[in-house]
Amino acid sequence: MRPEPEPEPEPAAAQPVAAEGPGVPPPGGHHLTPPPRRKWPWVVGLLALLIVGAITALAVSANHQATQSVTVRYSVTGTAHSVGIAYSTYDNQVISQTKVTAATLPWNKVITTDGFTHGGALTVTLGASGGTASCTVVADGKTYTATASGPHSAAQCRGF
């Protein structure tokens, strides 16, 4: 028996040379990626900062409004002969209502208030004889108007 010849070793397979650079996986085919960063803490932090900023802005605005003096001009014009008038007056954060009965037109009232607060009203009510009446309020640089016509009708300027 003849000894069998030993098998010849196979030539080593040529290993491909891996390219290097961004986007090219390292040898073995796996990317080593860092764990993903969480974005929600940044979002929550940003929202909290925005909320604190908005509250601060509102507080500064309210403080400014509470300490400012504002001139309010009330007026009622028209053809009605006898009207009822009711208007709001603010002073140092206190609201009071004033009523004028059997007023003749034109009627005007100018007041200066400290600690102006929004939400006032001027109401004019016509009597049984009817006619027309228009109310106008100028407050804080804005003008509010309304008109009533006919017996027992009313007009209201509000929102200042």
Q: Enter the DSSP assignment of 129.
A: T
Query: How much is the pTM?
Result: 0.58
Q: Assess whether pLDDT exceeds 60 at residue 51.
A: yes
Under DSSP, is residue 108 helix (H, G, I), strand (E, B) or coil? strand
Q: Assess whether pLDDT exceeds 90 at residue 113.
A: no
Please compute the mean of the pLDDT values over residues 15-26 and round it to a whole number. 57
Q: Which of 4, 142, 148 is nearest to 73 (CA)?
A: 142
Q: Which of 72, 139, 127, 71 is nearest to 103 (CA)?
A: 127
Count of C-beta atoms within a 10 Å radius of residue 130 = 16
* Signed CA dihedral, 90, 95, 97, 98: sign only: negative
CA distance 61 to 88: 22
Residue scoring higher pLDDT (66 or 120): 120
72's tokens:
């309010």
According to DSSP, the β-strands at 132-139 and 69-78 are: antiparallel
pLDDT digit string, tens, across residues 71-109? 899 999 999 988 999 998 777 777 889 999 988 999 999
The secondary element (H helix, E strand) that includes residue 120 is none
Cα dist from 16 to 19, 23, 96, 97, whole Å: 9, 17, 92, 93
pLDDT averaged over every residue in the chain:
81
Q: Assess whether pLDDT exceeds 70 at residue 28.
A: no
Q: Which domains does the chain have, with CATH numbers?
A: 71-158 (2.60.40)
Cα dist from 145 to 34, 90, 134, 140, whole Å: 66, 19, 7, 14
- Cα within 13 Å of Cα(151), Cβ side: 2
pLDDT digit string, tens, across residues 117-136? 667 899 999 999 999 999 99
122's tokens:
């001027």
